Structure 1
Amino acid sequence: MGNGALSGAVIAVAGAGGPAGRAAVLRLAEAGATVIGADNDPERLAEAVDAAGYAHGGATVVGDTVDLLNRESAQEWADRIEKDFGRVDGLVHLVGGWRGSETFTKTRLDDWDFLELLLIRTVQHTSLAFHEALQRSDRGRYVLISAAGASSPTAGNAAYAAAKAAAEAWTLALGDYFRKAGGEGGPHAAAAILVVKALVHDAMRAERPNAKFAGFTDVTDLAEAVVGVWDKPAAEVNGRRLWLTEKP
């Protein structure tokens, strides 16, 4: 385990219990990182942590039940990780959710209220909680997973696309903080956005065996791309959208 690409790194994963979170936790552990996952569903989180720990016996994989809708809880989580493990080298933000409508006219604004909390407020809380620790790291990375719809919204996805676009803008502002903090030497921490059309995993394929899922990114490929953000120098990925699907 000691010779992985992320050996010695301490990486937090928000939304670790979902399919994408599980894949990311597994891949990060495989790369040698100490992984601290958070999810609002304790059972789902325990399954993700157990699966990664079982697959990679030498890895340290920990689960924390954290309310990322609460600013103080997010801050306490960040502080606890740095205190317990001595550093924080990454925050991978995989808190997801979707609400849509048939047409623009039928958009429900309570969908916006739900998505604003899930897709924007959680990003605000994790970025504000972790940015100083990431800046202190020699390889700090904040990784947001976003959707192509943020750049080319469809009529029925107004609330979702607008929430994703706001989360992207917030993350790019964090990237500007890292850029300025780096001074003339360039940033040594980075905020990057991985953009997918949508995600697919084995359970979805099993449920819909005839579906093509054209242009979708498999969660294992997303996990590989997450690890890849650490392979590149901070200046190359900071404040960038890294497209895993065709650019609109």
Structure 2
Amino acid sequence: MTGSAEGSGASGALDGAVIAVAGAAGPAGRAALLRLAEAGATVVGADADPERLVEAVDAARYAHGGATVTGDTVDLLDLGATREWADKTEKEFGRIDGLVHLVGGWRGSSSFPETDLSHWALLERLLVRTVQHTTLAFHDPLLRSDRGRYVLVSAAGASKPTAGNAAYSAAKAAAEAWTLALGDAFRKAGGDDGPKAAASVLVIKALVHDAMRAERPNAKFAGFTDVTELAEQVAGVWDRPAQEVNGQRLWLTPAP
């Protein structure tokens, strides 16, 4: 990892923690469920696709016998529903120690003039609105935790956008700014003692997983981060003090 986040190993910092994962049914979400359960956390996944969510939750449960992994079908585009999810989770498990935001999506074009603004309309909802809703819903529970973390996964293109990725890069940049504003709220809440909760952005070039490799066996995927490595780095955020990771971009790829 470029920067300073290291692999977490068997992360004692997560033992007994309650971690919510938004976008749990995708490849990155599945890897996160597995890694967080392995580290001893109670994991509560959310996704809009109930069938894929059940498959992801069952896979994590079977991989780590005895782990508590649950799933809730949640429309994260609905602020009220997102707040209900946060409230339900805290009431059921007594605490919330983290929210990992893995809601993704991509649209691009072959050139800047060919950008389709419908792509922005979609990506703003997936990549920005869901961040707004989860940060607002989980702000208070994370402050009540002794190890609260909000983790966003972003892309290097937010800092160095390319012509064909204007909508995607702009949405990622907006999501980063919103998350860093949450970090400032945590900093202010901590006062002279410093933040006890943290909001962090993990920055990648792009993600790769086994199905992508199977579909394109000759592709190199140079500089891509495997979803299992991303999950390892997500877990590692809890190994570091809140003051060290709050309001920080943690690079898993060289910074532009």
The alignment's TM-score, normalised by the length of structure 1, stands at 0.98
Aligned equivalents of 1:13, 1:178: Cα separation in 2:
20
Query: Is the contact between residue 4 and residue 30 of structure 1 (CA under 8 Å) also seen in structure 2?
Result: no
Question: Structure 1 residue 167 and structure 2 residue 175: aligned?
Answer: yes
Q: For the residues of structure 1 that align with 2:98 and 2:135, how far apart are their CA atoms?
A: 11
Q: Are 2:63 and 1:64 equivalent residues in the alignment? A: no
1:3, distance to aligned residue in structure 2 (A)? 8.5
1:222 aligns with 2:230: yes
Structure 1 vs Structure 2: percent identity of aligned residues?
79
C-alpha distance after superposition, 1:39-75 (max 9, x if no partner): 1111110111000000001100000000000000000
Per-residue deviation, 1:208: 0.4
- Counterpart of 1:137, as a letter, is S
Alignment gaps of 5+ in structure 2: 1-9
1:6 to partner: Cα distance: 1.1
What CA RMSD, in Å, does the superposition of the two structures yield over aligned residues?
1.0
Return closer, same or farther for 1:226/1:3 CA change in 2, 3 Å cut-off.
closer
SS in 2 for 1:98: coil
SS in 2 for 1:91: strand
CA deviations on 1:146-202 (whole Å, 9 max, x unpaired) are 000000000000000000000000000000000000000000000000000000000
**Does the CA contact (< 8 Å) of 1:187 and 1:234 recur in 2?**
yes
Following the alignment from structure 1 to structure 2, what is the Cα–Cα distance between the partners of residues 88 and 63? Answer: 15
Structure 2 length-normalised TM: 0.95
State the structure with bigger RCO (CA 8 A, min sep 6), 1 or 2. 2
Q: How much does 1:116 deviate?
A: 0.3
Count of aligned positions: 247
Unaligned runs of 5+ in 1: none
Q: Tell me the distance in 2 between the aligned counterparts of 1:97 and 1:110.
A: 13
Partner of 1:181: 189
Distance 2:75 2:50 in 1: 11
Q: Do the aligned partners of 1:37 and 1:63 also contact (CA within 8 Å) in 2?
A: yes
Please say if 1:44 is aligned against 2:52: yes
Note the C-alpha offset of 1:34.
0.2
Name segments (4+ residues, structure 1) moved above 6 Å. none
Aligned to 1:191: 199
